[in-house]
């Protein structure tokens, strides 16, 4: 199968594993291209592990349109990458505005009326391992050209994350130079200060790349913690233009962190990234989960109205053949509609199941809260009855001295009594306090000492809602 990778000024043709670069022209085969990270809305978030795997995409879509800043009035092409961890699912959502795609490929579509497959550049580095036979480890790839810059990380050959970096345009603005002038300076002088007469220009360039790689370092440190990695093994730096002394200046910096810093290179006479993208698209063009194309091939002639009419006319001469073809097409069309309807029905069933589960969960919670409220109210009623009983006791003249003492102290410190018991010389009183006057229990015990009661101590029986229930005991 011939696979064509389109760029605005050229094409790459991969036929039987041999890649050839050609001038931009019309070719037949599987038509592919790619878009940059700057054309993508990338959102990373977590979903709970309790979600059923069949519901992951539905929940991810719900999150995108409720939590993220997505314009409901626009049309998007969205693909997801799910990674399962011990206690959560990590989700990378890649969102592309359909209008952005139409504008970006407007020129190409004048020659090629459709594009079968469009990849995104952060995922393209996956094919580096196939091309070079490099053993996958924990690797980071830096992409830096005139239009965008990003850091893409892979673990054991599988995509992990992508983050944006400082763009080339920032350096252009800082130096106030045209792009061609700046590219020439980077190629001829780069980060070699001995070649500069204008020290300010060198300082601006050096400062830009220092901040650039400091951000890379910060992102790597964060990702090691967030994704529970031991470390990053290698960093590959790709740029379509030369930056003199870049690797000499920063190789030692990364070596100190135990990371190999290398130039992204492949055994080819072509641009290494374009070559990698061609191989990647050739391998994954059948995978809808990484395809961002919204430019499908035209409907085959036999499915158009004109095609059907042609078959009808031909059927006048070849009745049997035309009838068979017609029935075949009709059955296929109905089967496709049936599959499409079944998919929509299953999707609605999953959403309905999700809503029923949520309603049942909240009903259960309401029932639990009602039970808790009833139990609390019963405790309050019991406490009120006991307080009322003890107040009546207090009004009677024939009380023992120890009961009179404890009741006076309870009134003094605004504490409530639940029970009073006496076993020989040992007296036990269960009292209730609120959180805001819990310290009054200690004051009560201090006063009992002052009244010459012995062995005064207190035990917390229960701490619930807004009350402390404690047992205070002492000897006569």
Closest-CA residue to 250 (of 212, 198, 301, 197)? 212
Contact 124, 276 (CB under 8 A): yes
pLDDT of res. 369 = 80
Judged by average pLDDT, the poorest of 284-293, 309-318, 388-397 is 388-397
Average pLDDT over residues 310-328: 68
Q: What is the pTM of this model?
A: 0.64
Contact 242, 264 (CB under 8 A): no
Other C-beta atoms lying within 10 Å of the C-beta of residue 137: 15
Strand order in the sheet with 30-35: 18-23, 10-15, 2-6, 30-35, 117-120
pLDDT of res. 316 = 57
pLDDT of res. 317 = 61
pLDDT of res. 234 = 96
Closest-CA residue to 107 (of 295, 305, 355, 296)? 295
Is the pLDDT at 405 greater than 70? The verdict is: yes
Is the pLDDT at 397 greater than 50? The verdict is: no
Strands 30-35 and 2-6: parallel
Contact 13, 274 (CB under 8 A): no
pLDDT of res. 396 = 46
4-13, 312-321, 354-363, 378-387: which is most confident: 4-13
pLDDT band at residue 51, thresholds of 50, 70 and 90? Answer: very high
How many helices (H) and strands (E) the chain has is answered by: 13, 17
Average pLDDT over residues 17-38: 95
pLDDT of res. 375 = 78
pLDDT band at residue 141, thresholds of 50, 70 and 90? Answer: very high
pLDDT of res. 310 = 55
Spatial separation of the C-alpha atoms in residues 405 and 195, rounded to whole Å: 95
Beta bridge partners of 458: 472
Cα dihedral 331→337→340→341 (10° resolution): -120
pLDDT band at residue 70, thresholds of 50, 70 and 90? Answer: confident
pLDDT of res. 398 = 43
Rg of the chain on CA atoms, in Å: 37
Spatial separation of the C-alpha atoms in residues 253 and 248, rounded to whole Å: 10
- Strand ranges (DSSP E) for 52-207? 76-84, 88-97, 117-120, 138-144, 149-155, 158-164
Q: What is the pLDDT of residues 324-382, one digit of tens each?
A: 777 778 777 777 787 778 778 877 887 787 778 777 777 888 888 888 878 777 777 77
Average pLDDT over residues 138-151: 97
pLDDT of res. 302 = 56
Judged by average pLDDT, the poorest of 223-232, 243-252, 299-308 is 299-308
Is the pLDDT at 455 greater than 90? The verdict is: no
pLDDT of res. 352 = 81
Which whole-number Å values give the CA distances from 35 to 20, 31, 107, 380, in the listed order?
A: 21, 14, 14, 67
Q: What percent of the chain has pLDDT over 70?
A: 91
- Average pLDDT of the chain to the nearest whole number: 87
pLDDT band at residue 465, thresholds of 50, 70 and 90? Answer: low
Judged by average pLDDT, the poorest of 102-116, 208-222, 360-374, 411-425 is 360-374
Average pLDDT over residues 199-209: 95
pLDDT of res. 97 = 95
């Amino acid at each position: 199968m011939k696979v064509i990778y389109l760029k605005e000024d050229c094409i790459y043709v991969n036929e039987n594993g041999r890649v050839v670069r050609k001038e931009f022209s019309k070719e037949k085969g599987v038509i592919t291209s790619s878009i940059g990270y700057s054309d993508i809305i990338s959102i990373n978030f977590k979903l709970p592990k309790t979600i059923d795997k069949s519901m992951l995409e539905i929940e991810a879509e719900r999150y995108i349109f409720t939590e993220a800043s997505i314009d409901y009035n626009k049309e998007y092409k969205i693909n997801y990458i799910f990674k399962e961890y011990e206690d959560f699912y990590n989700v990378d959502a890649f969102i592309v505005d359909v209008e952005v795609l139409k504008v970006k490929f407007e020129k190409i579509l004048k020659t090629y009326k459709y594009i079968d497959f469009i990849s995104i550049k952060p995922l393209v580095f996956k094919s580096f391992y196939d091309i070079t036979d490099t053993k996958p480890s924990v690797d980071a790839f830096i992409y830096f050209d005139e239009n965008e810059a990003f850091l893409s990380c892979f673990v054991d050959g599988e995509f992990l994350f992508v983050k944006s970096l400082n763009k080339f345009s920032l350096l252009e603005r800082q130096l106030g130079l045209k792009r061609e002038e700046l590219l020439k300076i980077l190629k001829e002088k780069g980060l070699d200060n001995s070649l500069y007469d204008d020290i300010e220009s060198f300082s601006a360039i050096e400062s830009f790349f220092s901040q650039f790689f400091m951000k890379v370092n910060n992102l790597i440190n964060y990702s090691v913690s967030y994704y529970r990695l031991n470390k990053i093994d290698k960093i590959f730096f790709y740029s379509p233009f030369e930056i003199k002394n870049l690797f000499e200046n920063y190789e030692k910096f990364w070596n100190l962190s135990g990371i190999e810093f290398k130039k992204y290179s492949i055994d080819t006479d072509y641009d290494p990234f374009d070559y990698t993208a061609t191989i990647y698209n050739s391998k994954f063009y059948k995978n809808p989960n990484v395809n961002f194309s919204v430019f499908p091939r035209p409907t085959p002639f036999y499915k158009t109205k004109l095609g059907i009419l042609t078959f009808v006319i031909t059927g006048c001469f070849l009745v049997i053949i035309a009838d068979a073809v017609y029935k075949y097409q009709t059955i296929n069309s109905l089967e496709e509609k049936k599959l499409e309807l079944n998919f929509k029905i299953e999707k609605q069933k999953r959403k309905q199941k999700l809503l029923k589960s949520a309603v049942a969960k909240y009903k259960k919670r309401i029932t639990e809260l009602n039970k808790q409220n009833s139990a609390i109210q019963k405790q309050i009623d019991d406490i009120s009855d006991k307080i009322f009983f003890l107040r009546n006791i207090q009004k009677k003249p024939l009380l023992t001295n120890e009961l009179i003492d404890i009741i006076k102290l309870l009134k003094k410190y605004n504490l409530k009594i639940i029970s009073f018991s006496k076993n020989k010389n040992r007296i036990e009183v269960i009292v209730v306090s609120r959180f805001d006057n819990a310290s009054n229990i200690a004051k009560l015990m201090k006063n009992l000492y002052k009244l010459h009661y012995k062995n005064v101590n207190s035990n917390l029986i229960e701490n619930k809602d807004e009350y402390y229930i404690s047992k205070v005991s002492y000897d006569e």
